[in-house]
Structure 1
Amino acid sequence: MITLITYEAGFGQPSFSPFCVKAMWLLQAADAQWQREDSNDPRKFPQAKLPAIRVPEGIIGDSHNIQIYLEERGADFWGAVTDKASGHAFIRMAEEHMYFHLVLDRWANDQLWPIIRENYFAAIPKLLRRPITSSIRKETLRGMKAQGLGRLTPEERLKRIAPDLAAIKARLDAHPYLMGPEISLPDYSVAAMLCAMMATPLPTLLQERITDDPVLSAYAMRVAERMTPA
């Protein structure tokens, strides 16, 4: 039995983290026997990140490493897809660019931050929660400024992510999934990111952009409904 260590469910999603949701979908697609274990403290796991899985070989962290572990044991996340190069590009677009838009949408929004703080960090005693999370928030936003997107306004960020969303929609013109008629690995990354964006608990420019787009929102929900365990 594989134990998936994940951030808890929230905002209508199986986890606050799209990477944890992706890991759940990988386990489902691999037809693995697994159970979840919620944690709000990633510091004791590899790279101080979640998700992670506990398996006989030890603890394996990061959704990509979980993917590799399952593939080495026979899982096939590509099916009939031949254009794996484009698929990998979509994964990197979602995880190395779109994700940072999600982070800023939640952490940089002063109206939204109190909701994020009280949900993400509920395990921290209330008297300590504000000072501790204020430091975490400052460090996160400092990192986003160094990355570059943190220097942009919400309007500028929306323009920056627009080509990504257009690329996703272009692939969905002819098929229900990114790489064709069947679900495959890139869908687990891209749809999980779109679902997280739509689930942001207050309206934002990004949240409304995804929710109001019938192609993007329907695609994200289609993947979620198929892959999320009951």
Structure 2
Amino acid sequence: MIKLLTFPPAFGLFAASPFCVKAAYLLNMSGQKWEREDMLDPRKMPYGKLPAIRAGERLIADSDRIQTYLESEGADFNKGLSDLDKANARAFIRMSEEHLYFHLVLDRWADDAIWPKVRDVYFSQVPPGLRHVIAAGVRRKTLSGLHSQGLGRLSQEERLARIEPDIDAITMRLRHSHFLFGDQPTAADASVAPMLAAATASPGVTLMGRMIEGNEVLMAYIARVDESCG
């Protein structure tokens, strides 16, 4: 049986990380039997992050590599899609994981009103006397990386202007079908829906979260994907 190494449940979701939720969705879609193993410290994992899976003697990290492994075992996460749809699906996945995700990280790590709640979830295993010091160091490193990446230099309003076209693109796709590429969930849904859900579940009020929560199409989509893949 496959073991999914994942962050624990948080903010009312399967895990705080949308990539862990994505991995769980892919495992369910693949039909493989699996169980979860929760952990908070991923430093000993390949790449120093989660999710990862144990499949026999193999330890496979990163949600993309997990997908590749499951496909090598016979899973077809894009069944029935044309080559054009597969290309478009790849673009939606990258939009979600390489753009919306970093806005999510900024919402959780950069906002002084939200950060204490996030800190106490992410660093709950650190003794209270050390938690603030250790978490502050990790926070500085994270925000420095986002500043170098570029999004960390923008105001919330400027970031919202970057997010809105992405949200509009996802909404437009969903006006034509139950899922992004038809009436059955695909790999794109396993990526995009957890990212949207994470934005609405983050503690406190964020501009991205409010934008998604006010979009009936997206909220229904999040629930539909979780019902089908969760």
Normalised-by-shorter TM-score class: over 0.9
What secondary structure does 2:53 align onto? strand
Read off the aligned partner of 2:192 and give its amino acid letter: V
Provide the rounded CA distance (Å) in 1 between the counterparts of 2:67 and 2:32.
12
Q: CA deviation at 1:9?
A: 0.3
Q: CA deviation at 1:57?
A: 3.3
Provide the rounded CA distance (Å) in 2 between the counterparts of 1:163 and 1:36.
35
What root-mean-square deviation, in Å, do the aligned CA atoms of Structure 1 and Structure 2 show?
A: 0.7
Q: CA deviation at 1:211?
A: 0.6
Read off the aligned partner of 1:141 and give its amino acid letter: L
Q: Which residue of 2 aligns with 1:175?
A: 177
What secondary structure does 2:175 align onto? coil
Q: Which residue of 2 aligns with 1:2?
A: 2
Q: TM-score, normalised by structure 2?
A: 0.98
Q: CA deviation at 1:33?
A: 0.7
Matches within 5 A, 1:7-46: 7-46=7-46
Give aligned-pair identity as a percent.
51
Matches within 5 A, 1:106-117: 106-117=108-119
- Pick from 101, 104, 118 the counterpart of residue 102 of structure 1: 104
Provide the rounded CA distance (Å) in 1 between the counterparts of 2:77 and 2:152.
34
Q: Which residue of 2 aligns with 1:59?
A: 59
The reply on whether 1:49 has 2:49 as its aligned counterpart is: yes
Provide the rounded CA distance (Å) in 2 between the counterparts of 1:226 and 1:114.
34
Q: Which residue of 2 aligns with 1:221?
A: 223
Q: Which residue of 2 aligns with 1:192?
A: 194
Q: CA deviation at 1:204?
A: 1.3
Q: CA deviation at 1:200?
A: 1.0
Provide the rounded CA distance (Å) in 2 between the counterparts of 1:104 and 1:141.
8
Q: CA deviation at 1:173?
A: 1.3
Q: CA deviation at 1:154?
A: 0.9
Read off the aligned partner of 1:75 and give its amino acid letter: A
Q: Which residue of 1 aligns with 2:75?
A: 75
Structure 2 unaligned spans of 5+? none
Q: How many residues align?
A: 228
Bigger mean CA offset, 179-188 vs 127-136: 179-188
Q: Which residue of 2 aligns with 1:146?
A: 148
Instruction: Spell out, residue by residue over 1:183-225, the C-alpha distance to the aligned partner (whole angstroms, 9 max, x if none).
Output: 1110000001000001012111111111111111111111112
Provide the rounded CA distance (Å) in 1 between the counterparts of 2:81 and 2:145.
36
Q: CA deviation at 1:139?
A: 0.3
Bigger mean CA offset, 171-180 vs 11-20: 171-180
The reply on whether 1:210 has 2:189 as its aligned counterpart is: no
Provide the rounded CA distance (Å) in 2 between the counterparts of 1:89 and 1:174.
18
The reply on whether 1:86 has 2:92 as its aligned counterpart is: no
Read off the aligned partner of 2:30 and give its amino acid letter: A
What secondary structure does 2:10 align onto? coil
Contact kept, 8 Å, 2:17 with 2:198, in 1: the verdict is yes
Provide the rounded CA distance (Å) in 2 between the counterparts of 1:120 and 1:226.
28
Q: CA deviation at 1:58?
A: 1.7
Contact kept, 8 Å, 2:185 with 2:228, in 1: the verdict is no
What secondary structure does 1:4 align onto? strand
Provide the rounded CA distance (Å) in 1 between the counterparts of 2:44 and 2:105.
22
Provide the rounded CA distance (Å) in 2 between the counterparts of 1:117 and 1:225.
30
Q: Which residue of 2 aligns with 1:158?
A: 160
Provide the rounded CA distance (Å) in 2 between the counterparts of 1:140 and 1:225.
33
Q: CA deviation at 1:162?
A: 0.8
Read off the aligned partner of 1:167 and give its amino acid letter: A
What secondary structure does 1:64 align onto? helix
